[in-house]
Structure 1
C-alpha cells in the first residue's frame, strides 16, 4: 500500500494545462478580410462616427448585414486591418485583383481555409482544452479521496479522515470499513495495540500501546503514513497506478479459516478474522471484492478512485497529443493561406491593343502575288518578293519572309501626336469611310466599313474594321513557310 499512499501524497500537482492560442486563426482571418473585395469590406464601418446599431427590422428578407451573428467579428477584423501594423497585409493585393475571376477564386480558397482553421480551434476549445485545464484538480480530488476517504466538497480546510477506530480491530478492518481509505487500511495492517506486540510493518513503526482505539488516534495515523516516504518513489502516470493496483490485487489472499471464507490483505487470525490475536494483522476485503457498479473492478473505494485517476491521466496524454496536432494543422493552414494570398500581388497583364490591331496578312495572297513574276527578276524584286534564279529571266519568285516580318512589325504604328499612341490597322482611318473602303492590296479588301462580328468590340456600331481574319505574326510566318515548301515541291 505504501506506493499508493506516497502517490496520493504528491501535492500540489502541476501538470501543464492548455497552451494553444488562436493567434494563427486570427492571422488567417485578417488575410481573409484583406483578400475580399472592396464591396464586402465597405459594409463594415471602421470609425465610431458611423452607427453600428443593429437594424431594428432583422426579420426583413434579405437581412441587413449588421443582423448577421458574425457581424461584430467581421467588423472587428475590418477595423484591425486598418491598423498601421497591418499596412503590408492591407496593401498586398494588387489594385483591382480581388474583383477578377482569379482573385475571387483565391479569396474563396482562403475563406475555406479560415473556416477550417476556426473549426479546428473551436473543437480544441470544446474538447481538448477542458481536459488539459482540469487534470490537476481531478487528480487532487481522486488522490485525496483515495488517501482520506470520500470528502464533502468544496473543502473548507484540510481533508478529513473518513476512517476512524470506533469499536474493535476486527470490526474497523472489515465490511464497509475495509477499503474506505488507504490510511485506514494501512493502520489495520501496521498499528500496534496491546494484542499486537511485533512491529508488523517494520522496526521503525513504534508500538502505540494501550487498546485498539488508543493505537489509532489521528496523530498515530499521520505518523504511520509518513513511514511510507522511504519505501516508494511513485510517478504520476497511468502505467504506474495500474501496476501498483495490479501488485495490490496479486497479494490478496482467498482462504477458509475456521468457518469463514475470506479475502484478505495480510494474515488473519485462526478464526479467519482480522484483530484480537498477537503477531497477525489483516484487512478483510471479503465484502468489497464484488463490484456494485457496472464497469468497476471491485467495491474498494480507494481502488476505484485511483482507477479513475489513471483514466484521467490517459485522457490527459491524449489531449496533449490532440493539442500538438491541432497546433500543427492550424500552422499549416496559415502557411497555405499566406501562400495563396501572396499570389494576389501579381497584377493582371494589360491587354496589348497594338497586337490585336496588327494588319491582316493573308499568306495565300502573298504567295499568289509573287508567283505572277516567275522568270522576271526585275518585277519580282520591285514587288517585294524574293528572286531565286540562275539569271534575270530564269527562276522563281517567292515570298520574302524577312520583309513580311518587318512589314508586320511596322504596321502597328503610324504618325500621331507626340506622347499619344498612334492609331493602328484599320482604326487609323477613323471616320473616313472612303479611305476605309479603298484600303486594298490588289483585289484583297484589307478594311471594310461594317458592324462588328462575334469576338469584336462594339458589335452594333458601324466603323472601319478589318476586312479579313486576324493572324498573328508567328502564324503568318509559319503559313508562309508552309506555302514556300509547297512551291519547292
Structure 2
C-alpha cells in the first residue's frame, strides 16, 4: 500500500511539473526564433549598393576649366607654369595681402586644367571642340566674358559636390558590409570562420558563463551578436537529454555542456547551428526597408513578464539553458535603464544603423546624379559659346552696314527735300522731276515745290541692294502677264501685287512691282535670321 501511494505521488508530481508554464523546453519550441535569426544571418550574403563616384562630374568640370584656361590671357596662365621642366606647378600663396579664399579653393582645379592642356593631343583640341577659332584679342575677350558666368556656376556646383562627397566615406559599401557583419559575428569575429572561444567572449561583453551571456532575473545579458543569441536560444544543455534537445531544428548537434563556469564548446555549437540555417540571400540588392523589417520581426517577439522580459522558453530564475530554468535571452526590467536595454540590443542597433546608412547612400546618389547632370548641361553651354559669339558678330556686321546705308539714304533724301523746297517757280520745279513735284497747280510761284513721295521708296529699294534694271523696270509693265514674264533665269524680278508695308506708291492698287522689295530694316532682320539659322545648322 505504501509503495502504491509513493508511485501515485510521483505520478502527480510529474503531471504537475509538466503543467508548469514554460517548463522544460521541448523540440521545436524556439524554432520560430531560430528562423528569424537565420534570416538576419542571410543579410551578410546579400549584394549591397555602392555610393556613386563623382568621376563623371569631375570630367565635365575639367572640360569647362580647360576651355576657360585656353581662352585666358598668357599673363594669367603664366602663374601656373612649372618653375622648371619636371617640377610641380606652384601651389597657391598670395604674394601680398590676405589669402583669397576663392582662389585658394579653386587653384588645384586651375593647375589641373593647365596640366591636362600641356599633355593634350593634338594641341588646341579643347578650343577646336568648342569651335573657338580666335582671330583677335577682342574676340577672345568676348568669349571669356560669355564663359565667365558659366564657369563660375560650375565651380560653385563642384565645390558643393566635393564638400558633400567628403561626408560620404561612411556610406561606402564596405563600411556598411562591415557594420552588418559586426552585428552578426562580432567586431573581432567578423565572419563565421573567425569565431573562436576568445573572439566569442570578446564580442559578447567578456561573458564567462551561459547565464551571464544570456541573462537572468537580476542581470541583463551580455550577448551582443546574432550568433550569441542563436547559442542562447538553441544550444542544448547537459541536464536536458545530455544536450541533445532539438529546440531549434531537428538536425542540430548535441551540446553536452552545462557552461555554468565557462563557455566551452559555444563556438562549435554556433557554427553547427548556422550551418543548419536556410539560405535566402538571393541576388537582390539589400534595401534599408528589408533590414528594418528583419529586425522588427524578431524584436517583436519579446515576451513580457513581471519584472522581466525575454525571448524563448523560460521557467524560472534565468536563462542558463538547464531543464529547471530556461533556454532563452532575458532582460530584467527592475530599473528604467535595464528596461531600455531590452529595446536597445547591440546587434539590432548596428543593423538599424546599417539601414540608415543605406538610406543616406540613396540620398547621396541622387545628389551626385543631379549635380553631375547640371555640370553636363553647363559643359554643353560652355562649348556652345562660340556659336553665340559668331552669331553676335554676324548680326553686328549686318546691322551696322544696313544702318549705315539707311542713314546715308535719309541724309540724301533730306538734302533733296531742301533743294526742292528752295525752288519757288513751277517751271524750275518741273526741271527737277522726278525728285521734285509742284503741289499747287493753281499758281506758278510760291513755296509749292516739294519732295516727290514716290521717289523715296525707289531710293530705299535701291539701297536694299537691287540696282539692276529689274528693280526699276517693273513699273513699265502695265499688265500681269508681262509683269510675271520679267525674270532673271528662274527667278522672277517682278510681282503683280499690292504695295507692301513701307511702299508709298499707290499701296492699295495691284500693279507690277519690284518682286524683291523689302524695307531697309526688314531686309536687315531677314538676313540676320538667315545668319542665325546657318549658325545653328
| Deviation (angstroms), 1:224 | 0.7
Contact 1:193–1:215 (CA under 8 A) maintained in structure 2: no
Provide the rounded CA distance (Å) in 1 between the counterparts of 2:286 and 2:368. Answer: 20
Which residue in 1 is equivalent to 2:327?
281
Provide the rounded CA distance (Å) in 1 between the counterparts of 2:153 and 2:147. Answer: 10
Which residue in 1 is equivalent to 2:178?
141
Unaligned runs of 5+ in 1: 412-472, 476-489
Which residue in 2 is equivalent to 1:18?
52
Change (3 A) 1:340 1:245: same
Unaligned runs of 5+ in 2: 1-32, 464-518, 522-537
Which residue in 2 is equivalent to 1:223?
272
Provide the rounded CA distance (Å) in 1 between the counterparts of 2:358 and 2:82. Answer: 48
Which residue in 1 is equivalent to 2:451?
399
Which residue in 2 is equivalent to 1:192?
236
Q: Which has the higher contact order (CA 8 A, sep 6+)?
A: 2
Contact 2:240–2:323 (CA under 8 A) maintained in structure 1: yes
- Equivalent in 95, 102, 115 of residue 76 of structure 1: 115
Q: Does 2:369 correspond to 1:324? A: yes
Task: For residues 321-340 of structure 1, give each alpha carbon's deviation from its aligned partner in whole angstroms, at most 9, with x where no partner exists.
Answer: 22222222222222333343
Contact 1:268–1:282 (CA under 8 A) maintained in structure 2: yes
Contact 1:147–1:181 (CA under 8 A) maintained in structure 2: yes
Q: Does 2:340 correspond to 1:303? A: no
| Deviation (angstroms), 1:57 | 11
Change (3 A) 1:226 1:254: same
| Deviation (angstroms), 1:200 | 1.1
TM-score (normalised: structure 1): 0.64
Provide the rounded CA distance (Å) in 2 between the counterparts of 1:114 and 1:337. Answer: 10
| Deviation (angstroms), 1:202 | 2.9
Provide the rounded CA distance (Å) in 1 between the counterparts of 2:378 and 2:273. Answer: 57
My pick for the range that moved more, 338-347 or 80-89, is 80-89
Task: For residues 72-112 of structure 1, give each alpha carbon's deviation from its aligned partner in whole angstroms, at most 9, with x where no partner exists.
Answer: 34533653677253351465255337558854541332332
Provide the rounded CA distance (Å) in 2 between the counterparts of 1:199 and 1:152. Answer: 26
- Equivalent in 379, 385, 396 of residue 340 of structure 1: 385
Give the length in aligned residue pairs.
Answer: 398
Provide the rounded CA distance (Å) in 2 between the counterparts of 1:202 and 1:159. Answer: 21
Change (3 A) 1:321 1:69: closer
Task: For residues 301-345 of structure 1, give each alpha carbon's deviation from its aligned partner in whole angstroms, at most 9, with x where no partner exists.
Answer: 222222222222222222122222222222222233334343123
Q: Does 2:209 correspond to 1:173? A: no
TM-score (normalised: structure 2): 0.59
Q: Does 2:418 correspond to 1:365? A: yes
Provide the rounded CA distance (Å) in 2 between the counterparts of 1:245 and 1:289. Answer: 24
Provide the rounded CA distance (Å) in 2 between the counterparts of 1:270 and 1:46. Answer: 80
Contact 1:200–1:279 (CA under 8 A) maintained in structure 2: no
Which residue in 1 is equivalent to 2:437?
386
Change (3 A) 1:271 1:58: closer
Partner SS, residue 162 of structure 1: helix
Partner SS, residue 127 of structure 1: coil
Which residue in 2 is equivalent to 1:244?
294
Partner SS, residue 281 of structure 1: strand
Provide the rounded CA distance (Å) in 2 between the counterparts of 1:368 and 1:304. Answer: 101
Which residue in 2 is equivalent to 1:429?
none
Which residue in 1 is equivalent to 2:200?
162
Relative to its length, the structure with more helix (as a share) is 2
My pick for the range that moved more, 45-54 or 229-238, is 45-54
Task: For residues 150-178 of structure 1, give each alpha carbon's deviation from its aligned partner in whole angstroms, at most 9, with x where no partner exists.
Answer: 3289x9x9354424998654344214644
Q: Does 2:64 correspond to 1:28? A: yes
| Deviation (angstroms), 1:289 | 9.4
Change (3 A) 1:247 1:269: same
Change (3 A) 1:357 1:188: same
Partner SS, residue 285 of structure 1: strand
Which residue in 2 is equivalent to 1:127?
167
Change (3 A) 1:171 1:119: closer
| TM alignment of 1:419-434, pairs within 5 A | none
Task: For residues 213-245 of structure 1, give each alpha carbon's deviation from its aligned partner in whole angstroms, at most 9, with x where no partner exists.
Answer: 798443222011222225887973322222222
